[in-house]
């Protein structure tokens, strides 16, 4: 009896998934870093002319977020669901609070907004990690 013509060779699907995951492991953090850096620069610029210090602020803040996201993505599978959710909540809340503080609002307002959005992300991330499970 003849084999079906569309049978894949062994191991090709695993290699394709690994390549996709490795690309996403750096593409998502870089994209988030670029978005945060651009947004931080545009908040500080306030419609005026872009200066070197404003550009440096955007580049550094974007690079820091990208590095933290990449590092968290590398270790998230080794963490329990609660710790991974707390890490994502802290990263998200800290980023939102940082951006809000750049707008000239008080540190207290930025902290409260960061805590509230971080708590929301903690709940969502915990739900995701808990339902995905092992």
Residue 94 reports pLDDT greater than 80 = yes
Largest CA distance in the chain: 76
For residues 63, 128, 124, 33, the Cα torsion angle rounded to the nearest 10 degrees is 10
pLDDT at 34: 95
20-29, 95-104, 123-132: segment of lowest average pLDDT: 20-29
Length of the chain: 134
State pLDDT tens for residues 21-69.
Answer: 678 788 999 999 999 999 999 999 888 888 899 999 999 999 999 999 9
Against a cut of 0.85, is the pTM above it?
A: no
């Amino acid at each position: 009896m003849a084999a079906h013509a569309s049978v894949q060779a062994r191991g090709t699907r695993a290699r394709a998934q690994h390549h996709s995951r490795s690309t996403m492991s750096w593409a998502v953090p870089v994209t988030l870093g670029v978005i945060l850096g651009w947004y931080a620069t545009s908040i500080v610029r306030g419609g005026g002319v872009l200066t070197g210090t404003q550009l440096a602020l955007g580049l550094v803040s974007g690079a820091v977020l990208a590095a933290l996201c990449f590092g968290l993505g590398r270790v998230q599978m080794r963490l329990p669901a609660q710790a991974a959710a707390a890490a994502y909540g802290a990263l998200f809340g800290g980023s939102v609070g940082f951006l809000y503080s750049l707008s000239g609002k008080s540190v207290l307002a930025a902290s409260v907004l960061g805590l509230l959005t971080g708590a929301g992300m903690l709940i969502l991330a915990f739900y995701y990690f808990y339902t995905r499970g092992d």
